[in-house]
């Protein structure tokens, strides 16, 4: 694909979306299977293209973590292919009749699931995101209009080139996947203002990207935001269960959004629970910061600031607050929650019910680790991201989040009186 202006790319995406929207599920799945095979066949080409990106990033002094996210090796390419095959195997969301019925005047009213059209994705370094999100978009009958980062440009070009070949081989327009190769900030801003072209924008990246979208986007979007997730250990908690859940939520993968960042514990069990769980946390390398009562209950904790309680650390750091009661726990969580995932550990049914009702988050868990809040774990198959907003999609976003619903009305000449 030769470099082209954003308007020309937008025109191509729009044109292709009409064909994609009426492609059969078999055609879309075939495109994904062909893409998986091409990724495997051309793994060497992809790794080679990626090597160029890596070299430039290294020369620019990119830190090790970012370099790792940028890296494509044979194993990651195989994972990308497996991801495409897994998405192809999911049930087709398009055409589902969501609800329907017969009106008294004989009109048949159906709500039918349809593709959104053009899904814009603006994302950061990881080139595997390119095939992951393009696969989900195409599966749901959408055009994937992608704007990746400058650092991953060679890799993204190579991946997109294969995806387009696969679409073409499946008899679908290659513009079903379109990559914006101009990675300037100005173009990113124009991208999120392509009103009438992009039906839904999904920004995948850090806080700066989300802020840019919130400030400048004129197209509809779904935000995959922070996860400042809490585990509340209630007075009536099984403390051993609470220990296992907290360790899992905090330590199994601290860099992800569904990891716990804060422990809230009822004052009546604070000392006993911290005596049980504290040493394990410390041994796992967790840095603990706490309020006054937490520090009184467990030695070796630095003071937690307001800022600490509001922060998604994404690292082995945990803030600890002691509360007087369930009401205090709910207030604390409501104050600092980013609306992602919040857990309570309790054997008190009333406390569980109240926590579930009053905590306002995409997911509320009772006696389970926050780490389960993930499309795969909750049964969605694959996920586009985890929405922390309340409109359209909330929590793990599966294929449904990439669709809309259309009213279809069948009559026999009815007119409105």
Q: How many CB atoms within 10 Å of residue 77? A: 23
Contacts of 250 (CB under 8 A, 6+ apart): 231, 259, 260, 281, 284, 286, 316, 318
* Residue 175 is a binding residue for a copy of itself (CB under 8 A): no
Spell out, one character per residue from 324 to 363, where the chain touches a copy of itself: x when CB under 8 A holds, - when not.
----------x-----------------x---xxx-xxxx
3-state secondary structure of 183: coil
Which segments of 172-222 does DSSP mark as H helices, in order?
Answer: 185-191, 207-216
Number of residues this chain uses to bind a copy of itself (CB under 8 A) = 67
Rounded to whole angstroms, the Cα distance separating 276 from 10 reads: 58
The SS3 of residue 415 is coil
- Locate 261 and state its tokens: 């960042």
- Residue entry with tokens 């990119």: 62
Q: Which stretch binds a copy of itself (CB under 8 A): 27-35, 103-111, 156-164, 179-187?
A: 103-111
From 16, 192, 200, 236, residue interacting with a copy of itself (rule: CB under 8 A): 200
Both structure tokens of 266: 């009822």
Which phi-psi region, left, alpha or beta, contains residue 69 (left: φ > 0; alpha: ψ -120 to 50)?
alpha
From 24-32, 121-129, 313-321, 374-382, span contacting a copy of itself (CB under 8 A)? 374-382
Question: Residue length, the chain?
Answer: 417
364 binds a copy of itself (CB under 8 A): yes
Structure tokens at 240: 């051993």
Note whether 6 binds a copy of itself by CB under 8 A.
no
Q: Are 246 and 263 in contact (CB under 8 A)?
A: yes
Closest to 396 measured CA to CA, from 222, 261, 243, 228: 222
Q: Are 277 and 216 in contact (CB under 8 A)?
A: no
- 194 sits near a copy of itself (criterion: CB under 8 A): no
Q: What are phi and psi of 148, to 5 degrees?
A: -90, -170
When asked if residue 107 is in the footprint of a copy of itself (CB under 8 A), the reply is yes
Distance in angstroms (rounded) separating the CA atoms of residues 398 and 67? 28
Can residue 368 be called a binding residue for a copy of itself (CB under 8 A)? Answer: yes
Candidate list 55, 103, 207, 327; residue touching a copy of itself; CB under 8 A: 103
159 binds a copy of itself (CB under 8 A): no
Q: Contact between 410 and a copy of itself (CB under 8 A)? A: yes
Beta carbon of residue 336, minimum distance to a copy of itself (angstroms, whole number): 13
2, 65, 299, 416: residue in contact with a copy of itself (rule CB under 8 A) = 416
65 binds a copy of itself (CB under 8 A): no
Q: Which of 109, 276, 310, 314 binds a copy of itself (CB under 8 A)?
A: 109
According to DSSP, the residues that pair with 242 across neighbouring strands are none
- Comparison of 248 and 311: residue with beta carbon closer to a copy of itself: 248
Distance CA 127, CA 67 (A): 11
Contact between 409 and a copy of itself per CB under 8 A: yes
Q: Which stretch binds a copy of itself (CB under 8 A): 146-154, 159-167, 240-248, 314-322?
A: 240-248
**371 binding a copy of itself? (CB under 8 A):** yes
What's the CA dihedral at 185, 191, 195, 196 to 10 degrees? 170
Return the residues of window 81-100 that contact a copy of itself according to CB under 8 A. Answer: none
CA distances from residue 205 to 124, 165, 393 in whole angstroms, order as listed: 6, 27, 18
C-beta of 52: minimal distance to a copy of itself in Å? 36
Of the candidates 178, 242, 221, the one whose C-alpha atom is nearest the C-alpha of residue 370 is 242
The region of 36-44, 167-175, 211-219, 292-300 touching a copy of itself under the rule CB under 8 A is 211-219
Position 396 contacts a copy of itself (CB under 8 A): yes
Q: How far is the CB of 123 from a copy of itself (least distance, A)?
A: 19
Which residues of this protein are in contact with a copy of itself, per CB under 8 A?
18, 21-22, 101, 103, 107, 109, 114, 116-117, 195, 199-200, 214-215, 218, 220, 222, 238, 241, 244-245, 247-249, 252, 334, 352, 356-358, 360-369, 371-373, 377-379, 389-392, 394-396, 404-416
């Amino acid at each position: 694909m030769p470099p082209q202006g954003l308007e020309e790319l937008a025109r191509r995406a729009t044109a292709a979306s009409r064909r994609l929207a009426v492609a059969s599920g078999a055609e879309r799945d075939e495109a994904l299977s062909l893409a998986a095979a091409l990724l495997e066949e051309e793994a060497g080409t992809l790794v080679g293209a990626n090597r160029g990106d890596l070299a430039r990033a290294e020369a620019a002094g990119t830190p090790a973590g970012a370099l790792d996210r940028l890296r494509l090796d044979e194993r990651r390419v195989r994972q990308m292919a497996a991801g495409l095959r897994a998405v192809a195997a999911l049930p087709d969301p398009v055409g589902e009749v969501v609800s329907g019925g017969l009106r008294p005047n004989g009109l048949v009213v159906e709500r039918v699931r349809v593709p959104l059209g053009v899904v814009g994705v603006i994302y950061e370094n990881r080139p595997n995101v390119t095939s992951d999100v393009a696969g989900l978009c195409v599966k749901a009958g959408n055009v994937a209009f992608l704007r990746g980062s400058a650092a991953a440009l060679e890799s993204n070009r190579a991946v997109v080139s294969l995806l387009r070949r696969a679409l073409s081989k499946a008899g679908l327009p290659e513009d079903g996947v379109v990559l914006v190769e101009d990675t300037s900030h100005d173009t990113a801003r124009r991208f999120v203002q392509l009103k009438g072209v992009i039906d839904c924008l999904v920004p995948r990246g850090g806080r700066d990207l989300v802020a840019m979208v919130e400030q400048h986007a004129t197209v509809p979007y779904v935000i995959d935001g922070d996860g400042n997730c809490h585990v509340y250990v209630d007075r009536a908690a099984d403390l051993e269960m609470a220990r296992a859940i907290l360790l899992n939520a905090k330590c199994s993968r601290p860099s992800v959004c569904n990891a716990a960042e804060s422990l809230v514990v009822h004052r009546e069990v604070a000392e006993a629970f911290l005596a049980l769980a504290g040493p394990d946390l410390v041994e796992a390398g967790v840095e603990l910061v706490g309020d006054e009562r937490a520090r009184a209950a467990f030695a070796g904790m630095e003071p937690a600031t307001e800022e600490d309680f509001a922060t998604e650390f994404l690292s082995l750091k945990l803030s600890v607050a002691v509360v007087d009661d369930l009401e205090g726990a709910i207030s604390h969580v409501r104050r600092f929650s980013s609306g992602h995932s919040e857990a309570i550990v309790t054997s008190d049914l009333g406390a569980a019910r109240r926590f579930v009702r009053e905590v306002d988050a995409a997911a509320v868990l009772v006696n389970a680790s926050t780490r389960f809040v993930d499309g795969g774990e909750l049964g969605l198959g694959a996920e586009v991201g985890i929405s922390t907003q309340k409109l359209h999609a909330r929590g793990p976003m599966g294929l449904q989040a990439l669709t809309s619903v259309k009213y279809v009305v069948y009559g026999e000449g009815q007119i409105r009186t």
